[in-house]
């Protein structure tokens, strides 16, 4: 099977089995999504969705968050991973968002990654979900599932995975493909124990073929 054939079969299966694929983070505007994605690093979306309603009520706008303190923000996010660092990043992000961008989440990659707490993955999520750009955010699920399926071959880091996926997935599907791979990794192709019996991609999966020789 050629790489093109593998990609075509994977995309075809996802289009049929998961026609609707979108973020599971709850948000109402770009600012809220940016906050939620920053918080979600090394933490589950379920946990983030539990704490953000109260957080967004306390800080409904970047302007409201910008005049608070890291200590105050911490009290709302103390149950997430690395709350001290994330509280400082949220405070810094909101202040720069207000001071440099008029409180508006920018639609430019370089501008996004210049904000505290915003790395390549977070910037690509915002560009894809909010601005409908062909951006591939690579988290641990995307990295793992891509390698197991054979969509990538020995990628050493998320940037390599991102480049290989965007080079082989049609541009208009890149945003959906990001969610396909995340959701598949979250519920089927799990890190410790992939549920191969309930996976429709075993016929093209490198990992499955290696484990079942």
pLDDT in tens, 106-154: 999 999 999 999 999 999 999 999 999 999 999 999 999 999 999 998 8
Q: Is 173 exposed, middle or buried (0-12, 13-18, 19+ CB in 10 A)?
A: middle
Q: Are 141 and 181 in contact (CB under 8 A)?
A: yes
Percent of the chain with pLDDT strictly greater than 70 = 100
Phi-psi label, residue 82: left if phi above 0, alpha if psi -120 to 50, beta otherwise: left
Positions marked active-site = 121, 139
Overall average pLDDT of the 66-94 stretch: 96
Separation CA 134–CA 178 (nearest Å):
10
Is the confidence at residue 1, as pLDDT, over 90?
no
Q: Are 62 and 94 in contact (CB under 8 A)?
A: yes
Phi-psi label, residue 62: left if phi above 0, alpha if psi -120 to 50, beta otherwise: alpha
Is the confidence at residue 211, as pLDDT, over 90?
no
pLDDT tens sequence across 35-49: 999 999 888 999 999
């Amino acid at each position: 099977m050629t790489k093109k054939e593998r990609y075509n079969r994977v995309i075809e299966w996802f289009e049929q089995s998961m026609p609707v694929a979108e973020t599971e983070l709850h948000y109402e505007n770009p600012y809220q999504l940016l906050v939620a994605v920053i918080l979600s690093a090394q933490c589950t979306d379920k946990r983030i969705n539990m704490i953000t309603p109260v957080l967004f009520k306390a800080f409904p706008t970047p302007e409201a968050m910008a005049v608070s303190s890291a200590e105050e923000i911490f009290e709302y996010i103390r149950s997430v991973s690395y709350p001290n660092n994330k509280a400082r990043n949220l405070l810094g992000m909101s202040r720069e968002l207000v001071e440099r961008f008029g409180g508006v989440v920018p639609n430019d990659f370089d501008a996004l990654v210049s904000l505290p707490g915003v790395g390549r993955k977070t910037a690509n999520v915002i560009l894809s979900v909010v601005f409908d750009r062909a951006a591939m955010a690579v988290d641990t699920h995307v990295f793992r599932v891509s390698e197991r399926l054979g969509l990538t071959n020995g990628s050493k880091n998320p940037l390599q995975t991102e480049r290989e996926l965007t080079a082989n997935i049609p541009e208009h599907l890149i945003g959906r493909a990001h969610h396909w791979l995340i959701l598949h990794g979250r519920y089927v192709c799990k890190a410790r124990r992939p549920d191969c019996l309930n996976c429709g991609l075993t016929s093209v999966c490198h990992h499955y073929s290696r484990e079942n020789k």
